[in-house]
Amino acid sequence: MIEDLVQMANQIGDFFDSYPSQEEAVAGIADHLKRFWTPSMREKLLAYAEEDGRELSQPVRSALARLQKPVAGA
Amino acid sequence: MRNGARQITVWIDGKEVTVPEGTSVLRASALAGVGVPKLCATDSLEPFGSCRLCLVEIEGKRGFPASCTTTVEPGMKVKTFSERLAGLRRGVMELYISDHPLDCLTCPADGDCELQDMAGDVGLREVRYGYAGKNHLQAEKEKSNPYFTFDPAKCIVCSRCVRACDEIQGTFALTVEGRGFDSLIQPGPTGEFLSSECVSCGACVQACPTSALMEKAVIDLGLPSESTDTTCAYCGVGCSFHAETKGTTVVRMTPNKESLSNHGHSCVKGRFAWSYASSRDRVTKPMIRKRIEDPWQEVSWTEAIEHVASEFLRIREKHGRNSIGAVSSSRCTNEEDYIVQKLVRAVFRNNNIDTCARVCHSPTGYGLRKAFGESAGTNPFDSVDQANLIFVVGANPTDGHPVFGSRMKQRLRAGAKLIVADPRRTDLVRTPHIEADIHLPLRPGTNVALLNAIAHAILEEKLENREYIEARCDLTAYAKWREMILRPENSPEAMGPVTGVPAEAIRAAARLYATTRPAAIYYGLGVTEHSQGSTGVICLANLAMLTGNVGLDGAGVNPLRGQNNVQGACDMGSFPHELAGYRHVSDETARRGFEQAWGIEIDPEPGYRITNMLSAATIGEFKGLYMHGEDLVQSDPDASHVIAGLRNMELVVLHDIFLNESSHYAHVFLPGCSFLEKDGTFTNAERRIQLVRQVMPPLCGKQEWEVVQEIAQAMGYPMHYHHASEIMDEVARLTPTFHGVSFEKLARLGSIQWPCNEKAPEGTPVMHRGEFVRGKGFFALTGYVPTREKVSERFPLLLTTGRILFHYNVGTQTRRTANTTWSKEDLLEIHPSDAEERGIRDGDKTELRSRKGSVVMRCLVSERVAPGTVYATFHFPENRTNVLTTENSDWATNCPEYKVTAVQVTRVFEPVRAEERENGKPAKRREIVPAAGE
pLDDT of residue B918: 47
Q: Considering Cα of B140, then B145, then B146, then B151, what sign does the dihedral take?
A: negative
pLDDT digits (tens, 9 = 90+) for B63-85: 999 999 999 999 999 999 999 99
For CATH 3.40.228.10, list the domain ranges present in chain B.
362-559
Question: Pick from B94, B60, B92: which is nearest to B76 by CA?
Answer: B60
What pLDDT score does B37 carry? Answer: 97
Q: What pLDDT sits at residue B909? A: 83
CATH code for the domain defined by B131-277: 3.30.70.20
Contacts of B582 in chain A (CB under 8 A): none
* pLDDT per residue as tens digits for the range B383-412: 999 999 999 999 999 999 999 999 999 999
What is the identity of the amino acid at B420? V
Separation between Cα atoms, residue B313 and residue B712, nearest integer Å: 11
Residue B499 amino acid letter: T
Specify the pLDDT at position A72.
45
Strand B797-802 relative to strand B901-907, pairing: antiparallel
User: Hey, what long-range contacts does B187-191 have (CB within 8 A, 24 or more apart)?
Assistant: B187/B142, B187/B150, B191/B142
Domain spanning B7-81: which CATH class is it, in words?
Answer: alpha beta
| Other C-beta atoms lying within 10 Å of the C-beta of residue B441 | 19
Q: How confident is the model at residue B882 (pLDDT cuts 50, 70, 90)?
A: confident
Distance to chain A for B535, nearest Cα, Å: 8
Q: Answer yes or no: do B781 and A35 touch at CB < 8 A.
A: no
Instruction: Report residue B879's pLDDT band, with 50, 70 and 90 as the boundaries.
Output: confident
Using alpha carbons, list the distances in angstroms from residue B506 to B333, B387, B455, B456. Answer: 41, 21, 10, 10
Query: How many CB atoms sit inside 10 A of residue B894's CB?
Result: 23
CA distance B934 to B227: 36
Angle at B704 between CA B700 and CA B706, to 5 degrees: 100
Q: B619 vs A1: CB contact, 8 Å cut-off?
A: yes
Residue A73 clears pLDDT 90, i.e. is over it? no
> SS in 3 state form for B456-483?
HHHHHCCCCCHHHHHHHECHHHHHHHHH
In chain B, residues under CATH classification 2.40.40.20 are: 797-919
Is the CB of B586 less than 8 angstroms away from the CB of A1?
no
Close Cβ partners of B309 (under 8 Å, ≥ 6 residues apart): B711, B714, B715
List pLDDT tens digits, range B885-909.
Answer: 888 999 999 999 999 999 999 999 8
- In tens, the pLDDT along B173-188 reads 999 999 988 999 999 8
The CA-based angle B8-B12-B15, given to 5 degrees, is: 90
More confident residue, B890 or B917: B890
Percent of chain B with pLDDT over 70: 97
Residue B154 confidence (pLDDT): 96
Q: How far B609 CA sits from the closest chain A CA (Å)?
A: 9
Name the fold adopted by B797-919: Barwin-like endoglucanases (2.40.40)
Residues β-bridged to residue B242? B229, B254
Say whether pLDDT at B871 is over 80.
yes
Q: Do A73 and B321 touch (CB under 8 A)?
A: yes
Is B616 an interface residue toward A (CB < 8 Å)?
yes
Q: What percent of chain B has pLDDT over 90?
A: 92
From the candidates B605, B613, B614, B782, which should be mutated to test the interface with A, based on the most A CB atoms within 10 A? B605
**Confidence grade of residue B562 (pLDDT, cut at 50, 70, 90):** confident
3-class DSSP string for B262-291:
CCCCCCHHHHHCCHHHHCCCCCCCCEECCC
Check CB contact of A11 with chain B, cutoff 8 Å. Answer: yes
Tens of pLDDT, residue by residue over B27-41, are: 999 999 999 999 999
The candidate with the shortest Cα–Cα distance to B689, out of B750, B602, B734, is B750
Average pLDDT of the segment spanning A63-72: 73
CA-nearest residue to B538 within chain A is A15
More confident residue, B373 or B911: B373
- Whether the predicted pLDDT of B2 surpasses 70: no
pLDDT band at B933 (very low <50, low <70, confident <90, very high): low
Confidence (pLDDT) at B3: 61
In this predicted structure, the answer to whether residue B304 has a pLDDT above a threshold of 50 is: yes
CATH class of the domain comprising B362-559 = alpha beta
Q: Does B603 touch chain A (CB under 8 A)?
A: yes
Give B575 to chain A, closest Cα distance, Å.
10
Contact B637, B886 (CB under 8 A): yes
Measure the CA–CA gap between A19 and A10, rounded to whole angstroms.
15
Q: What are the residue ranges spanned by the domains of chain A? A: 2-66
Q: What is the pLDDT of residue B920?
A: 43
Q: In sequence order, which residues have a C-beta less than 8 Å from that of residue B577 and are 6 or more positions away?
A: A35, A36, B351, B584, B585, B606, B607
Residue B755 preceded by cis peptide, ω within 30: yes
**pLDDT of res. A71:** 45
Residues 6+ apart with CB under 8 A from B428: B392, B396, B397, B398, B405, B408, B409, B412, B418, B420, B434, B436
ipTM of the complex in this document: 0.94
Q: Is the preceding omega at residue B518 within 30 degrees of 0, hence cis?
A: yes
Q: E strand or H helix at B494, and its extent? A: helix B492-499
Residue B352 to chain A, least CA–CA distance (Å): 9
What pLDDT sits at residue B4? Answer: 66
Enumerate the CATH 3.10.20.740 domain ranges in chain B, comma separated: 7-81
pLDDT digits (tens, 9 = 90+) for B114-131: 999 999 999 999 999 888
Between CA B425 and CA B679 the distance in angstroms is 40
- Looking at every residue in chain B, the average pLDDT score rounds to 95
Pair B139, B178: CB distance under 8 Å: no
Q: How far apart, in whole angstroms, are the C-alpha atoms of residue B343 and residue B717?
A: 9
**Residue B352 to residues A72, B404, B625, B714, Cα–Cα distance (Å):** 14, 35, 9, 20
| Residues B513-531 pLDDT 10s | 999 999 999 999 999 999 9
Indicate whether B662 pLDDT > 90. yes
Report phi then psi at B475, rounded to 5.
-75, -25
- Closest CA relative to residue B287, chosen from B799, B788, B671: B671
Give the DSSP letter of residue A65.
H
Using a CB-CB cut-off of 8 Å, the residues of chain A touching B531 are 11
Contacts of B320 in chain A (CB under 8 A): 73-74
Q: What are phi and psi of B728, to 5 degrees?
A: -65, -35
Question: How confident is residue B323, by pLDDT bands cut at 50, 70 and 90?
Answer: very high
Spatial distance between the Cα atoms of B290 and B309, rounded to a whole number of angstroms: 15
Confidence of residue B925 (pLDDT cuts 50, 70, 90): low
CA distance B486 to B489: 8
Closest alpha carbon within chain A to B893:
A36
CATH class for the domain made up of B287-360+567-753: alpha beta
Q: What's the pLDDT score for residue B928?
A: 78
DSSP bridge partners of B298: B287
CB contact under 8 Å between A40 and B322, yes or no, is yes
For B581, counting Cβ atoms within 10 Å of its Cβ (0-12 exposed, 13-18 middle, 19+ buried), the class is buried
Tell me how far apart the alpha carbons of residues B33 and B28 are, in angstroms, rounded to a whole number. 9
Instruction: Please give, one letter per residue, the 3-state secondary structure of B797-834.
Output: EEEEEECCCCCCCCCCCHHHCHHHHCCCCCEEEECHHH
| CB within 8 Å: A73 and B603 | yes
Residue A41 near chain B (CB below 8 Å): yes
Query: CB of B237 within 8 A of CB of B403?
Result: yes
Angle, vertex CA B736, rays to CA B734 and CA B741, nearest 5: 80
Tell whether B608 lies on the interface with A, counting CB pairs under 8 A: yes
